[in-house]
Chain A
Amino acid sequence: MNAPAPLQRKPTTVWQMYRSIVGIGAFCALLIVSVYQGTAGRIADNRARFLGNAIEEVLPAAHSTVEVALDANGALVGAAEPADLPAYLAYGDNGELVGAVITARGMGYADNITVLYSYSFELKAIVGHKVLESKETPGLGDKVELEPHFLANFEALDARLNDDGTALANAIVTVKEGEKTEAWQLDGITGATITSDAIGAILNRASGFWLPALERDARDFRPPQSTEE
């Protein structure tokens, strides 16, 4: 102890307590608000850029995107506010519809995996995927982001709807490595069976949810105003 310990300290008055806590609280609040104000613009820019980069990775033709949602009747509408797992319609340089970009989540080996994937209306197929968040074992589970033969699945992964347009014609499934025979099958990864199976299941579920509505309504969908990137 540097200072000699006071044997009898003056009792703290209520006013002193009040003064210090309110004072510090006000000072802290002010500081946080000003830092928030100062950085909010850049943070929003960063977020948009991060999403833009991800979308560009899965769907290079996309120039601008509009977030969409399904209303109570299952019809496609513009999203009122950003969803946890958003889906976007993507438009090309001349404003033509080039595809849809969908976020989806499901259980992997270690934890939830969140993926972003793109659907092409022209090919009726999934044409790109990117893992946004995963805690899979490094060196095994993260092969779904790196392994060339697995990524080759996404050149055109068949996601055709059935004749009624209510569900996928063929469920998207992951098969054992080297045993892919159909266009809707994912060629799996030996040694990362659970993770590659999970990707198949995630894509299958999210596609079953989004694609019927997208196929039915997306071509007639008129965005309120298209957000330029």
Chain B
Amino acid sequence: MGKKQSNSTDEFVKGLWRDNPVFIQMLGLCPALAVSNTAINALAMGAATTFVLVMAGLSVSLLRNFIPREARIVSYICIIATFVTCVDYAIMAISIELHRALGAFIALIVVNCLILGRSEAFASKNRPALAVMDGLGMGAGFTAALFFIGVMREVLGSGTLFGVDLFPGGFQTWTVMVLPSGGFFAMAIWLLLVNRIRQYQAEAEKRAGEQEAAS
């Protein structure tokens, strides 16, 4: 929060990489592990969460001077639960099959700490436009992370991607990857990669800084 003048693009981009909710902040892991067994489920869950993030962020930001400090958590939860219920109905109206696949995890978006966290830490202190951009960015980062996990689990666990058979002719599926434990494995592999890249980035930055200091 050091920068006073942050523009909305920054708020969007930070959710994708620097503050990625799943890989960096490690928030909202329950749905990230539970419904990422196929790419479609991951995208649907990401989209639903993004919608709730944006709408809750917008509402909280608009009402930030209206909600007293003492009643803020109950207000936020109420707002979040409302949008989750709306999403629940919307998904049922779009496709019962999708609703069955996501199961209880739609209702559990309410307790996804990511949403309450962003409402409390960001939306309640910033303008609505920034809050929306923050929600979009966090949602996009969340969706991307779920999607990467989902792709790995679906390709290994079912040999398909978006339901399309990738390896016709007897691919041996890794059953464990579609089971809950596979979520942890896939998540761990991506975390390994992300942290490795961040390490390289930090080293490169340090070297660049030293060079600058030397010259």
Contacts and interface: CB of A to CB of B under 8 A. Distances in A.
Give yes or no for direct A-B contact (beta carbon below 8 Å).
Answer: yes
B66 A39 contact: no
B164 interface: no
Nearest to B174: A139
A39 B86 CA distance: 9
Interface stretch (B68-76, B109-117, B131-139): B68-76
Interface residues of B, number: 33
B92 A39 contact: yes
Interface of B: 1, 4, 63, 66-71, 74-75, 78-79, 81-82, 85-86, 89-90, 92-93, 95-97, 100, 125-126, 157-158, 173, 175, 178-179
Contacts of A36: 89
A36 B89 CA distance: 7
A50 to B, nearest CB: 5
Contact of B66 (A3, A20, A47, A138): A20
A226 interface: no
A28 B97 contact: no
A46 B125 contact: no
A43 B125 contact: no
A42 B93 contact: yes
Contacts of A225: none
B86 A31 contact: yes
Given A39-B92, A46-B95, A2 B4 contact: yes
Given A24-B63, A43-B89, 16 more contacts: A12-B68, A12-B70, A16-B68, A17-B70, A20-B66, A24-B78, A24-B79, A28-B81, A35-B85, A35-B89, A42-B93, A43-B92, A46-B95, A49-B96, A133-B100, A137-B179
Interface residues on A, range: 20 to 34
Instruction: Identify the interface centre among A12, A21, A24, A47: most chain B CB within 10 Å of its CB.
Output: A24
Contact of B82 (A19, A28, A43, A133): A28
Interface string A2-13: 110000010010
Contact of B75 (A21, A31, A139): A21
Contacts of B89: 35-36, 39, 43
Nearest to A16: B68
A32 interface: yes
A3 B71 contact: no
A133 to B, nearest CB: 8
